[in-house]
Structure 1
Amino acid sequence: MDKEQRQADFDYCEKIIKKHSKSFYYAFSQLPSEKAHAVYAIYAFCRTADECADGNHSSKKKVQQLRQLKKELDLFNDHEELDKPLWRALRHVFNTYEMDIGPFYDQLTGQSMDLTFTTPNTMKELERYSYFVAGSVGLMLLPVIASESSVDLQASAISLGVAMQLTNILRDIGEDYHDKNRIYLPSAELRHFHYSEKDLHNGIINEHFISLWEKLASRAESLYSKFLLNIELFDPDSRVPVYLSAHVYKGILDAVRSNGYQCLTKRNYVTKEKMTQINAAVKSAFDLREGDALTVEK
């Protein structure tokens, strides 16, 4: 493949992440271009899978689309991929990094779970689902952002993905319920905190809702912390962007809190100004770390 075609393929993938995830794009666009391109291609695959399951189509059409994507992934796995920008870009990624096809299939399993969605009963069930739709993404990215590491960082990568998915769920409670007829909040937790579907339908935000929301947020924040404990084990050129992605995404939780937990009728997000502040704080923190490391070495 010529260089011009490859650039066009990655430009195609970049447009997808730029359109659908400003926070991801803001963080990962700061990677060296080769790695940024790899992230864009991986994101484009995940977005394609997500749109199969969540697009404005009939259930039958969604099943057909997801089956077609699996067939295309099978072809890719057999080195007989379709001549399309996504697959050409992913082939370059697989040729450049020690990629594992397993998490890509796990992603499709996660999207299939949405097609036959039932409210999870427990946190364990919710986190299992979160692994398939988001922890799998962490594993896809791992060979790119930890290409030099000799340590097994799979658990850390999964922690970041699950934390981000829990954050998405906490941000989108109202949207998921009203637009998709889905309640991702575990039924056992709804009962425990005395918050009903009727309360959700009526848009009630009370102390019961806040306690329930904060329990899930606390779990997400503990997973972010677990991931960040190992940040020094990732590639030096990837640490700041990856650290930034975790903090920007974690910032969504604070945005919901700042808006009085209004996530039933309002879309919460980290503003561009706030992203810039987080970026400056993260880079400052890393400058201090590197300074301390130099002092210790002397």
Structure 2
Amino acid sequence: MMDNQAQAGLYASVAQEAAAVVIRRYSTSFSLATRLLEKPVRRHVENIYALVRIADECVDGACAGSGSAPDAIRSCLDKLEQETLDAVAGCYSSNLVVHAFSITAREVGIGPELIRPFFASMRADLEQAGHTRDSFDAYVYGSAEVVGLMCVRAFLLGSPVDAGLLARLDGGARRLGAAFQKVNFLRDLSDDYQDLGRSYFPGITVGEFSDAQKDALLADIEADLAAAAAVIPELPAGSRTAVAAVHALFAELAKRLGAVPARELMSRRVRVPDVVKLRLVAAAWIGQQPAVSGTWRLRRVPLLAALHRSSR
């Protein structure tokens, strides 16, 4: 029979395996990109994403789909936040995903200053149908930018970094997270409004959405993507390629949204085909390899084969 320490180690392994399943099942794009992370970093990013995903399911997905009343949904989110804070403080959690996140949080330095804003934004979806400029900025910060900041702490684990570099990487992570969220809002404009009764972009009436408004939103997104791209070369080698791949995937989605008239966005959901995702991820990986190296020629075949299998 295992002693308590061995049981705790087994439970930690199982929790993190469960978190990895979440990312594979819920996000093709993100799952593809995380294959380019070094294994220790990948584990932490999977743990972060899994918590983000189940919080979102609590607000918009499985919780509501199971017939839970609004008060029950709010209670579910509140309990998840408190359980997360307790686990990060050093407690065991019977929720496998929360336990996995707490392992990462303690190892890389994620504290309540990043966790609370995330849950505040999730809670806003239960309370607000629209946003002012200030509430929109706060929502994007909590729902997306802090996730980028969490990931930066995972990327930097074990790497020496000075205050100036950390500030630049944090700034780039925030801009990239903001770009991701705004792209998602634009892609899901119709579904958010018609199915959930929400309109995220301040000053925009969804039923009167125009090409000029769409172009202005895309210009803002492109500025975020450009600011983030400028910082990617400063990331540690073990995470740089994956971030470049995710950046490329969302830049491609933004480009495709730009090619669709505003009126059509109200009746169709723009996506990046899997074959294009594969090409972009592969290009990001190859672009980070040495220009002349027999090693990468040997390595790229199994990696690209794995990416191809995952895209089927």
Q: Does 1:48 align with 2:54?
A: yes
CA distance in 2, matches of 1:33, 1:101: 26
Q: Does 1:138 align with 2:148?
A: yes
Q: Is the 8 A contact 1:31 1:241 kept in 2?
A: yes
Q: What does residue range 267-282 of structure 1 map to in structure 2 within 5 Å?
A: 267-282=269-284
Q: What does residue range 213-252 of structure 1 map to in structure 2 within 5 Å?
A: 213-252=214-253
CA distance in 2, matches of 1:101, 1:28: 25
The more displaced of 214-223 and 80-89 is 80-89
Q: Is the 8 A contact 2:124 2:139 kept in 1?
A: yes
In the alignment of these two chains, the number of paired residues is 275
Q: Does 1:103 align with 2:93?
A: no
Residue 200 of structure 2: aligned partner: 184
| CA distance 1:222–1:146, change in 2 (3 Å) | farther
CA distance in 1, matches of 2:178, 2:206: 24
Which residue identity is paired with 1:132? G
State the secondary structure of the residue aligned to 1:183.
Answer: coil
CA displacement 1:266-291 (0-9 Å, x = unmatched):
22221111112212332343347899
Q: What does residue range 203-214 of structure 1 map to in structure 2 within 5 Å?
A: 209-214=210-215
CA distance in 1, matches of 2:119, 2:239: 27
Residue 98 of structure 2: aligned partner: 87
- One of 81, 88, 106 as aligned partner of 1:70: 81
Q: TM-score, with normalisation over the residues of structure 2?
A: 0.80
In structure 1, the gaps of 5 or more residues are 191-195, 201-208, 292-298
- One of 208, 215, 230 as aligned partner of 1:199: 208
Q: Note the C-alpha offset of 1:4.
A: 4.9
Q: TM-score, with normalisation over the residues of structure 1?
A: 0.84
| CA distance 1:130–1:8, change in 2 (3 Å) | same
CA distance in 2, matches of 1:269, 1:146: 32
Which residue identity is paired with 2:49? Y
Which residue identity is paired with 1:17? I
CA distance in 1, matches of 2:107, 2:37: 16
CA distance in 2, matches of 1:290, 1:99: 39
Q: Note the C-alpha offset of 1:43.
A: 0.7
CA distance in 1, matches of 2:187, 2:75: 29
State the identity as a percent: 20
Residue 193 of structure 1: aligned partner: none
| CA distance 1:289–1:176, change in 2 (3 Å) | farther
Q: What does residue range 252-271 of structure 1 map to in structure 2 within 5 Å?
A: 252-261=253-262, 262-271=264-273
Residue 12 of structure 1: aligned partner: 18
- One of 286, 289, 292 as aligned partner of 2:288: 286
The more displaced of 112-121 and 278-287 is 278-287
Which residue identity is paired with 2:208? D
| CA distance 1:197–1:279, change in 2 (3 Å) | closer
Q: Does 1:175 align with 2:202?
A: no
| CA distance 1:263–1:99, change in 2 (3 Å) | same
Residue 159 of structure 1: aligned partner: 175
CA distance in 2, matches of 1:287, 1:13: 29
CA distance in 2, matches of 1:290, 1:163: 34
Residue 27 of structure 1: aligned partner: 33
State the secondary structure of the residue aligned to 1:186.
Answer: coil
Q: Note the C-alpha offset of 1:51.
A: 1.8
Q: What does residue range 107-118 of structure 1 map to in structure 2 within 5 Å?
A: 107-118=118-129
In structure 2, the gaps of 5 or more residues are 294-312
Q: Note the C-alpha offset of 1:19.
A: 2.0
CA distance in 1, matches of 2:291, 2:284: 11
CA distance in 2, matches of 1:280, 1:21: 17
CA displacement 1:154-211 (0-9 Å, x = unmatched):
2211111111100110110010011101111212xx3xxxxx45436xxxxxxxx121
CA distance in 2, matches of 1:4, 1:76: 17
Q: Note the C-alpha offset of 1:121.
A: 3.0
